[in-house]
Amino acid sequence: MYTGGSYYFCGGDGAVLKNFQTISGKRYYLGTDGIRQTGWIDLGGKRYFGMEDGSLRVNGWLYTGGNYYFCGGDGAVLKNFQTISGKRYYLGTDGIRQRSWIDLNGKKYFGMEDGSLRVNGWLYTGGNYYFCGADGAVLKGFQTVSGKRYYFNAEGIRQSRWITVNGNTYFAMEDGSLRKGWLYADSNNYFCNSAYVVVKGNYAIDGVAYSFDQKGAMIKKSGWGEYKGNKYYFNPATGFPYKNQWVSFGSTQYYANSKGHMVSGFYTIGGKLYYFYPDSKIMARNTTINGYQIGANGVAVPTRMARMYSMAQGYSSTTPYLIMVDRASHKVGVFKGGKGLWNNLYYWDCADGAPSTPTVGGIFKVGMKGYYFDSGSARCFWYTQFYGNYLFHTVLCYKDGSIMDGRVGMALSHGCVRLQIPNAKWIYDNIPKGTTVVVY
Rounded Cα gap, residues 319 and 432, in angstroms = 7
Give 198's strand partners. Answer: 192
Its CATH architecture, for the domain 2-78, is Ribbon (2.10)
Average model confidence (pLDDT) across the chain: 94
Q: Tens of pLDDT along 306-331? A: 889 889 999 999 999 999 999 999 99
Q: Tens of pLDDT along 393-411? A: 999 999 999 999 999 999 9
Rounded Cα gap, residues 298 and 285, in angstroms = 5
Inter-residue contact 233 to 242 (CB < 8 Å)? yes
Phi, psi (deg, nearest 5) at residue 243: -135, 145
Fold match between domain 2-78 and domain 240-299: yes
Q: What does the angle CA 331 – CA 312 – CA 354 come to, to the nearest 5 degrees?
A: 30
105: left (phi over 0), alpha (psi -120 to 50) or beta: left
Q: Tens of pLDDT along 235-267? A: 999 999 999 999 999 999 999 999 999 999 999
Rounded Cα gap, residues 198 and 200, in angstroms = 7
Q: Tens of pLDDT along 17-40? A: 888 889 899 998 888 888 888 889
Q: Tens of pLDDT along 37-89? A: 888 989 988 999 899 898 889 999 999 999 999 999 999 999 999 999 999 99
pLDDT of residue 364: 98
Dump the DSSP string for 94-146: TSPPP-EEEEETTEEEEE-TTSBBP-SEEEEETTEEEEE-TTSPBP-EEEEET
Domain ranges of the chain: 2-78, 107-208, 240-299, 306-439
pLDDT band at 127; cut points 50, 70, 90: very high
> In the CATH hierarchy, which top-level class contains the domain 107-208?
mainly beta
CATH superfamily assigned to domain 306-439: L,D-transpeptidase catalytic domain-like (2.40.440.10)
pLDDT of residue 67: 93
User: Helices in 273-354 by DSSP H: which ranges?
Assistant: 304-312
Inter-residue contact 176 to 163 (CB < 8 Å)? no
Cβ contacts of residue 197 below 8 Å, gap of 6+?
168, 169, 170
Could you give the C-alpha distances from 348 to 223, 237, 411, in angstroms and in order? Answer: 44, 52, 14
Inter-residue contact 46 to 58 (CB < 8 Å)? no
Dump the DSSP string for 30-83: -TTTSPPP-EEEEETTEEEEE-TTSBBP-SEEEEETTEEEEE-TTSPBP-SEEE
pLDDT of residue 35: 86
Its CATH architecture, for the domain 240-299, is Ribbon (2.10)
